[in-house]
Amino acid sequence: MAQETTLILFKPDAIKQDLVGTVLARYQTEGFKIRGIKMMSLSDEILAEHYAHIAEMPFFPSVRSFMQETPVVALALSGEDVISRVRDLLGPTDSKEAAAGTIRGDFGEKSEDSKMRNICHASDSSEAAEMELKRFFDEDEIVSY
């Protein structure tokens, strides 16, 4: 198994429902280690960069608006195969399709916005994690211990 670090963003629906601690505890129960954590408001620029793959789509303004409803919590989390294991813990992107026992199955919205209001974003590959961690954290904000 590979030691990895991934980015997780607690989205505004998690913030509004006070789920950060509950979800963070699930990650820590799996043995993952916090290497960086902070709350931040997301600018139009960082959202356009983070969502560059959909920034030209007609629905992007609603994604941007949602992600700016509240600050988000950015989390750098490390562990063995953390990228795939976190994604398994989260469940499918669409909360309506997520099984009970997954984070999205237990807490995500079961509405037409269930692909967006799904508690957390998590990096989907080591390449994405590397880029996303640099986007949301300065080098000195991620620690080793």
* Four-CA torsion 17, 30, 120, 44, nearest 10 degrees: 120
Please confirm, yes or no, whether 50 is among the known catalytic residues: no
Residues in the chain: 145
Active-site residue, selected from the candidate residues 121, 122, 136, 137 = 121
Closest CA to 72 of 37, 98, 48: 37
Residues 6 or more apart whose CB falls under 8 angstroms from that of 62 comprise 116
Q: What is the DSSP letter of 99?
A: P
Which positions are annotated as active-site residues?
121
